[in-house]
């Protein structure tokens, strides 16, 4: 199986522009921990969302400069995320369509997981560009699911 493409706002990025790629997804939640008079803690949760960080070595792909970062856009990620069988996808997530549709895999101990190539609508302030001490160009895009 070949590597899926990275698509940002409908722009399919060349693999050359995302060498040494790193995709991180972290939960962010509108929640607080409160205490009762007895000292027992409970959690108040208002919402659950995710922050996605995409970073890569190489020059920033020029088409990313043309995206309107004042409006939501769709990203399609190239690395799958694992979910339990029957588990719903988080709010705002969907699975990419063929040929990168979700699939189930089973390990040597018989445990099965769903592998999903995520597609989600996000907002972002735009990419950050940097050059390391060795003048190595790199870029990073931090998004939040809406």
pTM: 0.81
Residues 30-47, mean pLDDT to the nearest whole number: 87
pLDDT of residue 95: 92
State pLDDT tens for residues 88-140: 998 889 999 888 889 999 989 999 999 999 999 999 998 998 887 767 788 89
Q: How confident is the model at residue 63 (pLDDT cuts 50, 70, 90)?
A: confident
Helices (H) and strands (E) in the chain, counts: 0, 12
d(CA 32, CA 45) in angstroms, rounded, equals 7
d(CA 57, CA 69) in angstroms, rounded, equals 22
6-80+118-145 has which CATH code?
A: 2.40.30
Helix (H) / strand (E) containing 30: strand 19-35
State pLDDT tens for residues 76-88: 999 999 999 999 9
Determine the distance from the C-alpha atom of residue 125 to the mean position of all C-alpha atoms in its chain, rounded to a whole number: 15
């Amino acid at each position: 199986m070949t590597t899926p493409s990275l698509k940002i706002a409908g722009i399919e990025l060349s693999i050359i522009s995302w060498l040494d790629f790193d995709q991180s997804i972290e939960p962010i939640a509108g929640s607080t921990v409160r205490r009762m008079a007895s000292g027992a803690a409970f959690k108040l949760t208002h919402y659950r969302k995710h922050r996605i960080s995409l970073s890569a070595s190489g020059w920033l792909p020029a088409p990313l400069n043309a995206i309107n970062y004042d409006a939501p856009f769709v990203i399609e990620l190239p690395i799958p995320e694992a979910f339990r069988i029957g588990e719903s996808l988080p709010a705002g997530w969907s699975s990419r369509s063929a040929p990168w549709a979700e699939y189930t895999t089973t390990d040597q101990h018989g445990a099965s997981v769903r592998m999903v190539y995520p597609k989600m609508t996000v907002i972002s302030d735009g990419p950050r560009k940097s050059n390391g001490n060795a003048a190595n160009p790199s870029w990073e895009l931090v998004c939040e699911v809406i």
